[in-house]
């Protein structure tokens, strides 16, 4: 619907100059499609970057995990004697099945003919581009929300858990195998601060023996943590120079908040009030090597009495956290209104 009667364009209506202009003048389209409805996700980006190949089979990803000692230490005296050792079973398999996600892509038969040599935005190209965005959005949503739907990727609420949400993980019981428990804290309706986050990072190390790689928070929670940093900002003024000599002016605030050497990022898919401290040394997407965002190609829909084509983007993947005890979830933070 053209906008008439504003700026240099006259008003419309029957017999008006505005109506005449509609008949004889093309619109000045910007030849790009501006996507309005998706978000970026640091977690999804990290998992895709750290992805591992998988193949077929039942329990497509099976990880042998040592949950007990194979051998025991004995102290010996001068004579060097020791007790006969026993063979101790110590390995348990963590088992994961890949989850299938498909995005059907339609292509009407006459769509290409109508658009040929006259398209502003090729609809087929827009759908193909949208498939990637829809996929990332759907996966990111499942990663931060899905606990029990076994047709979807099992997300962090089940993987980074102490049994509160998921008593089993990797087809093993967290009660029988307590080494499958991540650390869970309740912050207690307080603002996240550097001191508190550092305390939870220390707790992660105490529980799992390793520091997390990075942390993620919802934007409002992350901003509340940043507010604990901002009053301590300072500008270094070099003699005979200004503090804003950087090409983009004075630097203020942060893109990532470093606490105890661990960067904390904002992720729009993380529920507000929650902090995840994650270790990518043991966490990755396992993606089937034959179905890694693969396109099936287009097939005719004539068999359905329609002139057209349909294709699909297919992937088989699962989030696998091989060592939950090196990760932590903190809930109950308060956060600013943004």
Please indicate, yes or no, if residue 258 is contained in any of the structural domains.
Answer: yes
Q: Determine the Cα angle at 207 with ends 205 and 212, to 5°.
A: 35
Torsion of CA 17, 23, 28, 29, to 10 degrees: 130
According to the model, what pLDDT value does residue 237 have?
Answer: 65
> Is position 71 within any domain?
no
Is residue 32 included in any domain, yes or no?
no
Does residue 107 contact residue 308 with C-beta atoms inside 8 Å? yes
Give φ, ψ of 111 to 5 degrees: -60, -45
Window from 4-18, 56-70, 222-236 with minimum mean pLDDT: 222-236
pLDDT tens for 283-338 read 999 999 999 999 999 999 999 999 999 999 999 999 999 999 999 999 999 999 98
pLDDT score of 190: 97
Domain containing residue 315: CATH number: 3.90.1690
* Side-by-side strand order, sheet with 214-217: 183-186, 328-331, 275-278, 214-217, 262-266, 257-259
Which residue in 335, 325, 116 sits closest to 224, CA to CA? 335
Query: Is 70 exceeded by the pLDDT of residue 258?
Result: yes
> How would you class 57 by CB atoms within 10 Å of its CB: exposed for 0-12, middle for 13-18, buried for 19 or more?
exposed
243, pLDDT greater than 80: no
**Which pLDDT score, from 0 to 100, does residue 167 have?**
97
End-to-end CA distance of the chain: 34
**What average pLDDT does the chain have?**
93
Would 5 be classed as within a structural domain?
A: no
Is residue 224 a contact partner of residue 335, using CB atoms and an 8 Å limit? yes
Q: Domain range spanning residue 217? A: 42-53+93-232+252-333
Phi, psi of 100 (to 5 degrees): -100, 135
* Nearest-5° Cα angle at 204, 265 to 181: 110
Q: Is residue 283 part of a domain?
A: yes
Asked if residue 274 belongs to a domain, the reply is yes
Residue 303 lies in a domain: yes
Convert the pLDDT of each residue in 171-195 to its tens digit: 999 999 999 999 999 999 999 999 9
Residues 337 and 29: their CA atoms lie apart, in Å, by: 38
pTM, full prediction: 0.90
Is residue 158 in a domain? yes
Query: What is the total count of domains within the chain?
Result: 1
């Amino acid at each position: 619907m053209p906008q008439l009667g504003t700026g240099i364009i006259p008003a419309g209506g029957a017999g008006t100059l505005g109506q005449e202009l509609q008949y004889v003048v093309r619109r000045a389209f910007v030849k790009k499609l501006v996507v309005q409805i998706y978000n970026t996700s640091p977690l999804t980006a990290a998992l895709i970057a750290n992805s591992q190949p998988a193949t077929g089979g039942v329990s497509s990803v099976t990880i042998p995990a040592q949950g007990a000692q194979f051998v025991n230490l004995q102290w010996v005296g001068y004579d060097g004697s020791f007790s006969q050792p026993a063979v101790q079973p110590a390995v348990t398999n963590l088992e994961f099945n890949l989850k299938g996600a498909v995005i059907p892509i339609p292509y009407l038969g006459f769509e290409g003919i109508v658009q040929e040599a006259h398209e502003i935005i090729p609809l087929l190209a827009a759908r193909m581009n949208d498939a990637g965005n829809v996929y990332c959005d759907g996966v990111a949503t499942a990663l931060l929300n899905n606990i029990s739907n076994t047709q979807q990727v099992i997300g962090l609420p089940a993987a980074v858990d102490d049994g509160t949400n998921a008593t089993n993980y990797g087809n093993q019981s967290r009660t029988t195998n307590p080494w499958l428990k991540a650390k869970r804290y309740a912050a207690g309706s307080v603002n996240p601060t550097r001191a508190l986050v550092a305390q939870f990072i220390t707790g992660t190390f105490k529980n799992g023996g390793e520091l997390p790689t990075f942390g993620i928070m919802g934007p409002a929670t992350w901003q509340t943590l940043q507010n604990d940093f901002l009053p301590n900002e300072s500008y270094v003024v070099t003699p005979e120079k200004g503090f804003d000599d950087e090409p983009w002016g004075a630097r203020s605030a942060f893109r990532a908040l470093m606490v105890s050497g661990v960067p904390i990022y904002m992720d729009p898919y993380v529920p507000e009030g929650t902090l995840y401290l994650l270790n990518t040394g043991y966490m990755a997407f396992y993606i089937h090597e034959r179905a890694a965002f693969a396109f099936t190609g287009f097939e005719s829909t004539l068999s359905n009495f329609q002139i057209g084509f349909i294709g699909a983007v297919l992937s088989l993947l699962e989030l696998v956290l091989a060592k939950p005890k090196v990760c932590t979830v903190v809930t109950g933070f308060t956060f600013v209104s943004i």
